[in-house]
């Protein structure tokens, strides 16, 4: 008769965890190679295949035990964002097709049940993007750079901030609202209220602006506000009207479980909105994914003896 001791069980469990960590490290290296192809390969079919490969590799690796605890922090071409409560994480990435066309891939991993949900880019098909409520099959595709949780009338929901390159002369930034139920994640919630508007509450915010300018939209934890560069119309070189920041700031403040619009946040024109950390400001040493760029190696010159 074989006796199984508690030490044996512990050893087997420890070996399984170590093996899973080794497997995840291998998958991480594969993902890094696939993401390099996604962003640098000159052939469109290769980039599309790389995006599909990333999705499949993520699905396989995240199905492993304790995968949620593995950070995948060496993958600097895929955005990985967590909320404050670390109850889930979102992987998102961009596929460049041509100068005027982009698509997006994404996946959500939940911590408690390890439910993994693929996100299908549906942004080009939205009829009224600020008012539609959709599921993961009809996702407004983007690369996420920030998540902030809040209490709505329905319970905890999450603001997810993203960038969509949209088209040649214009980019978009989006604040979507993510929630979860027994069926999975859902995007959009009627929580954005404009007091003087005759329309119903918006389900998400979508701002389109000139690709030649910098547009900031983020949650500021010190002000407890969504701070947004105020936009005004301007003419581009090609004669098409585009929107650019005018130096003032509007935003949304949480009141009675809704985000209420404020037309002007400050009474002076400022060079930059007060916020904890600009998301897309390379001068602060961070990229769109919130990661520091790799350090460059500088070779010192040797002093020659005369």
pLDDT digits (tens, 9 = 90+) for 198-235: 777 999 999 999 999 999 999 999 999 999 999 999 87
For residue 300, give the 3-state DSSP assignment.
coil
Residue 88 lies inside a defined structural domain of this protein: no
Residue 89 lies inside a defined structural domain of this protein: no
Contacts of 214 (CB under 8 A, 6+ apart): 245, 280, 281
Segments forming the whole domain that contains residue 58: 8-77
The per-residue pLDDT for 196 is: 80
Residue 289 lies inside a defined structural domain of this protein: no
The per-residue pLDDT for 86 is: 97
Question: In Å, what is the CA distance from 191 to each residue of 4, 91, 136, 142?
Answer: 56, 25, 19, 20
The per-residue pLDDT for 280 is: 45
179: β partners? 186
Length of the chain: 306
Residue 97 lies inside a defined structural domain of this protein: no
- On whether both 154 and 257 belong to a single domain, the answer is yes
Residue 164 lies inside a defined structural domain of this protein: yes
pLDDT one-digit tens code per residue, 268-286: 555 555 444 444 444 455 5
Residue 297 lies inside a defined structural domain of this protein: no
Cα pseudo-dihedral 72, 74, 77, 83, rounded to 10:
40
- On whether both 247 and 164 belong to a single domain, the answer is yes
The per-residue pLDDT for 186 is: 96
The per-residue pLDDT for 270 is: 55
Token representation of residue 295: 């350090």
Residue 299 lies inside a defined structural domain of this protein: no
Number of structural domains in the chain: 2
Residue 301 lies inside a defined structural domain of this protein: no
pTM attached to this predicted model: 0.81
Last residue of a domain, one of 53, 77, 101: 77
- On whether both 58 and 207 belong to a single domain, the answer is no
pLDDT along the chain (306 residues), means of 10: 49 47 93 97 97 98 96 95 98 95 97 96 90 92 98 96 94 97 95 85 95 96 96 79 94 96 77 49 52 55 48
- On whether both 125 and 46 belong to a single domain, the answer is no
253: β partners? 225, 260
The per-residue pLDDT for 278 is: 45
- On whether both 275 and 166 belong to a single domain, the answer is yes
**Terminal Cα distance for the chain, rounded:** 83
- On whether both 183 and 55 belong to a single domain, the answer is no
Question: In Å, what is the CA distance from 247 to each residue of 171, 185, 235?
Answer: 18, 36, 17
For every residue of 286-299, which 3-state class applies, written as one string?
A: CCCCCCCCCCCCCC
């Amino acid at each position: 008769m074989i006796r199984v001791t508690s030490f044996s069980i512990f050893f087997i469990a420890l070996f399984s965890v170590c093996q899973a960590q080794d497997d995840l490290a291998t998958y991480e290296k594969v993902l890094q190679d696939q993401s390099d192809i996604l962003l640098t390969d000159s052939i469109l079919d290769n980039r599309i295949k790389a995006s599909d490969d990333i999705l499949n590799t993520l699905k396989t690796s995240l199905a492993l035990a304790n995968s949620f605890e593995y950070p995948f922090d060496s993958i600097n071409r895929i955005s990985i964002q967590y909320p404050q409560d670390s109850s889930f994480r979102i992987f998102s990435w961009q596929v460049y097709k041509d100068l005027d066309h982009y698509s997006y891939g994404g996946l959500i991993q939940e911590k408690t049940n390890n439910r993994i949900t693929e996100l299908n880019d549906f942004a080009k098909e939205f009829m009224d993007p600020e008012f539609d409520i959709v599921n993961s099959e009809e996702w407004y595709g983007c690369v996420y750079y920030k998540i902030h949780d809040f209490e709505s009338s329905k319970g905890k929901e999450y603001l997810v901030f993203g960038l969509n390159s949209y088209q040649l002369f214009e980019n978009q930034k989006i604040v979507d609202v993510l929630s979860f139920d027994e069926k999975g994640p859902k995007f959009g919630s009627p929580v954005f209220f404009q007091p003087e508007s005759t329309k119903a509450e918006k389900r998400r915010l979508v701002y389109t602006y000139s690709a030649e300018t910098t547009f900031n939209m983020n949650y500021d934890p010190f002000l407890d506000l969504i701070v947004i560069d105020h936009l005004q119309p301007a003419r581009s070189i090609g004669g098409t009207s585009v929107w650019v920041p005018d130096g003032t700031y509007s935003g949304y403040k949480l009141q009675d479980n809704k985000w209420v619009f404020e037309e002007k946040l400050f009474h002076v024109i400022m060079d930059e909105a007060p916020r904890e950390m600009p998301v897309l400001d390379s001068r602060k040493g961070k990229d769109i994914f919130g990661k520091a760029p790799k350090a460059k190696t500088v070779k010192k010159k040797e002093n020659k003896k005369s």
